[in-house]
Chains A and B, each alone.
Chain A
Amino acid sequence: MSHDITHDGVADHHDHDHKPKGFVKRWLMTTNHKDIGTLYLIFAFAMFILGGAMAMIIRLELFQPGLQFVEPDFFNQMTTMHALIMVFGAVMPAFVGLANWMIPMMIGAPDMALPRMNNWSFWILPFAFALLSSTLFMEGGAPAGGWTMYPPLVLQGGHNVAYLVFAVHLMGISSIMGAINVIATIMNMRAPNVGYLNMPLFVWTWLITAFLLIAVMPVLAGAVTMLLTDRYFDTSFFNAAGGGDPVLFQHIFWFFGHPEVYIMILPAFGVVSEIIPTFARKPLFGYVSMVYATAAIAFLSFIVWAHHMFSVGMPLGAELYFMYATMMIAVPTGVKIFNWVATMWKGSMTFETPMLFSLAFVILFTIGGFSGVMMALAPVDLQYHDTYFIVAHFHYVLVTGAVFAIIAGVYYWIPKWSGHMYNERLGKIHFWWSTISVNVLFFPQHFLGLAGMPRRIPDYSTQFAEFNMWSSIGGFAFGLAQVFFIYIVWKTVRGGEKATGQVWEGAKGLEWTVPSPAPHHTFEDFGPVDLDKMAHGKTH
């Protein structure tokens, strides 16, 4: 490896910055963190469209009461596959893509710590989802027992179980390798003068997320392995006739599942913590408290899992414990919301598209957080359980939370990736279109749930008809808005106003010290960086 190195850590000749030639060498065999980041983001986007198409089928069927378009079993396949694809195929890989692109540039590292493993962890994913999606074309169809894979139901659906289990194994391997890579990069690859408390919050939240991934993805792998052996090798982990217990699966699954929801939201916290200070033109309020709050949320996520299963029949003491422990999560989360608001307080705010999505994130994620606190209450949760109230809750935190943060991050960093500014007018149209439609889509579902409409059912009582129609209209509009987003991204990558290296007036961080588009290799000399360029760099 012989590269010309300049003192600001950037290979300065753009005309030949050592990109490998040819599709196979450039993409299939790549070990470059920026290329792998791009691959992750494209893959996540493709899965987002696939999972979104399934959501459209679900909303189409629910547009009116009665069965119009699909068979109930196919409807259940759609709800199951939509969730699996969105969780493991869209949201998680999108954040890994952002991590790949941004973490090395944010800490002054030349690349990820383990570049070849990085390639491997990406290229496993298409195979995992080919395996999972192939079940759609099989006799008996795709898994239809819900993404939570509760036995015995999930074991009664034919041989898609085996495909589901192996797909989950592959996703798990991919995530674990990605997480180890993130940890090694952050711990070992920082520029020599960048300390832990100089790191941008996006790096911090990802470090903590990576620890969560290593801790819980293997537990999920174990749980689905038990499903596999129960189905094919006559073990009785979850089979009551053989002395097992189906409720045990729920405990193991949610021991993974609750940290999993923070795996999907902590990096989102990181993204908006980068964006809000930029457009408020003020340093992030309470940086250290943000780090501690993130760590506290991660710790608490391990000890609250049974709040997903209040209705299985727990002793009063356990219900009380899980209820109070869950409500405690609102404290560090509240610290974060407070800090974001305080960052904006008396700031010189402007409202470019990334900022708009981040503001919507803060407000709408908080709505999702509030409904979460409502469900933490064990006695009322018995009413909310398995209703559309739950559906509304987790879509507020995942769509207007995680997905909005990803969209905000794409608008924020795409000038750095592509070298072009996106069209601000189209971005604003995309924002208002998405934000209005997503609320039309999910807000009525709160009322549907409170009135008793169960989730995962293709038909419903006529009393729910109007809210469902609104919800479906909002759903179609939101889906269309994301097709519009593809157009905006496509247009930006192809051309547009040239972006400067700094891109945003108020932006701080090492990623803004390199030119746009970011050269193929950056920060190659492992040398010290200018701490004044970092948001949290100055040591007073």
Chain B
Amino acid sequence: MQREQENRKVLKIGLTVAVLMVGFGFALVPLYDIICDITGLNGKTGVLAAQDVRETAVDHTVVVQFDGTVNSDLPWSFRPKQFSMEVVPGKLYHTEYIAKNISTDDVTGQAVPSVAPNEASIYFSKTECFCFTEQLLASGEEKNMPVTFIVSADIPKDIDVLTLSYTFFNKNRMTTAEKQQAGNANHEKI
């Protein structure tokens, strides 16, 4: 019957659209990253380009503030060595953060950087950073963590303060089974 065929056609098209929209939902993930990279939204820092570095002095300076926090899952202390620095755009600078493992276990952490305000973030790039790799700290170990950065000479003059912030996360995320075990252990104690 013709009507039945037409109904099946609508069904097929509808299901296809539904499946495609699931795909669209997942496609939003890379799309979001790309948009953030291009616009600097979300404080993702820029990539160093040749015109960023300039030998001749730029006639204005920028104050860079440093901030460090640890996620509640990570038993570390973490702070910048100096809280702010006045820098000339186009020149390389170096600073350090201090991290200490205050727990009785060895823990691996991963730092995630963010620059505020958003408009400034694409003009900020790091040439060396502890956030590029995972950091292992033994129990009680303290470590200086270096950052080398450059503020692009192209940075607009109306931006005179920017903040570089790191959040350290626990990289030893327990697997589900381990969490279960830990939960059971706690339960038994009670």
Task: Let me know if A525 is at the binding interface, CB within 8 A.
Answer: no
Alpha-carbon distance A197/B41, docked complex (angstroms): 46
Task: Let me know if B63 is at the binding interface, CB within 8 A.
Answer: no
Mark contacts of B1-40 with chain A using CB atoms, 8 A cut-off: 1 yes-contact digit, 0 otherwise.
Answer: 0010011001100110111111111101100100010010
Complex interface residues of chain A between 232 and 251 (CB less than 8 A to chain B):
232, 234, 237, 240-243, 245, 247-248, 251
Q: Which of A217, A218, A248 contacts B29 (CB 8 A)?
A: A248
Using CB atoms, name the residue of chain B closest to A221: B22
Q: Cβ of A219 and Cβ of B24 under 8 Å apart?
A: yes
Task: Let me know if B165 is at the binding interface, CB within 8 A.
Answer: no
Counting chain B CB atoms within 10 Å of each CB, which of A113, A189, A234, A314 scores highest?
A113
Mark contacts of A433-455 with chain B using CB atoms, 8 A cut-off: 1 yes-contact digit, 0 otherwise.
Answer: 00000000000000000000000
Instruction: Pick from B82-90, B152-160, B168-176 the stretch touching chain A.
Output: B168-176
Tally of contact residues, A, Cβ under 8 A: 40
Using CB atoms, name the residue of chain A closest to B111: A241
Q: Cβ of A176 and Cβ of B7 under 8 Å apart?
A: no
Q: Which of B14, B25, B42 contacts A219 (CB 8 A)?
A: B25
- What residues of A have a CB within 8 angstroms of the CB of B6 in the complex? 184, 187-188
Alpha-carbon distance A495/B7, docked complex (angstroms): 39
- What residues of A have a CB within 8 angstroms of the CB of B23 in the complex? 222
- What residues of B have a CB within 8 angstroms of the CB of A183 in the complex? 10, 14
Alpha-carbon distance A255/B32, docked complex (angstroms): 13
Q: Cβ of A218 and Cβ of B10 under 8 Å apart?
A: no
Alpha-carbon distance A3/B152, docked complex (angstroms): 81
Alpha-carbon distance A174/B30, docked complex (angstroms): 29
The answer to whether A255 and B28 touch (CB under 8 A), given A219-B21, A247-B42, A315-B118, is yes
Alpha-carbon distance A473/B132, docked complex (angstroms): 57
Q: Which of B18, B28, B71 contacts A248 (CB 8 A)?
A: B28
Using CB atoms, name the residue of chain A closest to B28: A252
Task: Let me know if A131 is at the binding interface, CB within 8 A.
Answer: no
Q: Cβ of B10 and Cβ of A187 under 8 Å apart?
A: yes
Alpha-carbon distance A314/B171, docked complex (angstroms): 29
Q: Cβ of B118 and Cβ of A237 under 8 Å apart?
A: no
Q: Cβ of A218 and Cβ of B28 under 8 Å apart?
A: no
Using CB atoms, name the residue of chain A closest to B116: A313
Interface size, B (range): 35 or more
Q: Cβ of B3 and Cβ of A188 under 8 Å apart?
A: yes
Mark contacts of A208-227 with chain B using CB atoms, 8 A cut-off: 1 yes-contact digit, 0 otherwise.
Answer: 00000011111111110010
Task: Let me know if A56 is at the binding interface, CB within 8 A.
Answer: no
Distance from B28 Cβ to chain A, minimum over Cβ atoms (Å): 5
Task: Let me know if B45 is at the binding interface, CB within 8 A.
Answer: no
Q: Which of A220, A242, A245, A255 contacts B42 (CB 8 A)?
A: A245
Alpha-carbon distance A189/B4, docked complex (angstroms): 10
Q: Cβ of B25 and Cβ of A252 under 8 Å apart?
A: yes
Distance from A386 Cβ to chain B, minimum over Cβ atoms (Å): 21
Q: Cβ of A240 and Cβ of B29 under 8 Å apart?
A: no
Alpha-carbon distance A463/B61, docked complex (angstroms): 48
Q: Cβ of A241 and Cβ of B110 under 8 Å apart?
A: yes
Task: Let me know if A114 is at the binding interface, CB within 8 A.
Answer: yes
Complex interface residues of chain A between 242 and 295 (CB less than 8 A to chain B):
242-243, 245, 247-248, 251-252, 255
Distance from B98 Cβ to chain A, minimum over Cβ atoms (Å): 20
Task: Let me know if A117 is at the binding interface, CB within 8 A.
Answer: yes
Task: Let me know if A514 is at the binding interface, CB within 8 A.
Answer: no
Task: Let me know if A481 is at the binding interface, CB within 8 A.
Answer: no
Task: Let me know if B95 is at the binding interface, CB within 8 A.
Answer: no
Task: Let me know if A179 is at the binding interface, CB within 8 A.
Answer: yes
Using CB atoms, name the residue of chain B closest to A315: B118
Distance from B8 Cβ to chain A, minimum over Cβ atoms (Å): 8
Q: Which of B17, B21, B25, B112 contacts A241 (CB 8 A)?
A: B112
Alpha-carbon distance A223/B169, docked complex (angstroms): 23
- What residues of B have a CB within 8 angstroms of the CB of A534 in the complex? none
- What residues of A have a CB within 8 angstroms of the CB of B110 in the complex? 241-242
Q: Cβ of B24 and Cβ of A214 under 8 Å apart?
A: no
Q: Cβ of B18 and Cβ of A234 under 8 Å apart?
A: no
Using CB atoms, name the residue of chain B closest to A223: B25
Task: Let me know if B167 is at the binding interface, CB within 8 A.
Answer: yes
Alpha-carbon distance A245/B42, docked complex (angstroms): 9
Task: Let me know if B119 is at the binding interface, CB within 8 A.
Answer: yes
Distance from B152 Cβ to chain A, minimum over Cβ atoms (Å): 18
Alpha-carbon distance A113/B24, docked complex (angstroms): 28
Q: Cβ of B21 and Cβ of A218 under 8 Å apart?
A: yes
Q: Cβ of B17 and Cβ of A215 under 8 Å apart?
A: yes
Q: Which A residues are closer than 8 A to B by beta carbons?
A: 113-114, 117, 176, 179-180, 183-184, 187-189, 214-223, 226, 231-232, 234, 237, 240-243, 245, 247-248, 251-252, 255, 313-315, 526
The 9 closest A-B pairs by CB, nearest first: A222-B25, A241-B169, A180-B14, A218-B21, A184-B10, A219-B25, A218-B22, A113-B7, A188-B6
Q: Which B residues are closer than 8 A to A by beta carbons?
A: 3, 6-7, 10-11, 14-15, 17-26, 28-29, 32, 36, 39, 41-42, 71, 110, 112, 118-119, 167, 169-171, 173, 175-176
Given known contacts A188-B6, A221-B25, what 9 new A-B pairs fall within 8 Å (CB)?
A114-B7, A188-B7, A215-B21, A218-B19, A218-B20, A219-B24, A234-B175, A241-B112, A252-B28
Give me 11 A-to-B residue pairs in the complex whose CB atoms sit less than 8 angstroms apart, sorted by A's number. A113-B10, A114-B7, A176-B14, A180-B15, A214-B21, A217-B21, A218-B20, A219-B24, A221-B25, A240-B71, A242-B110
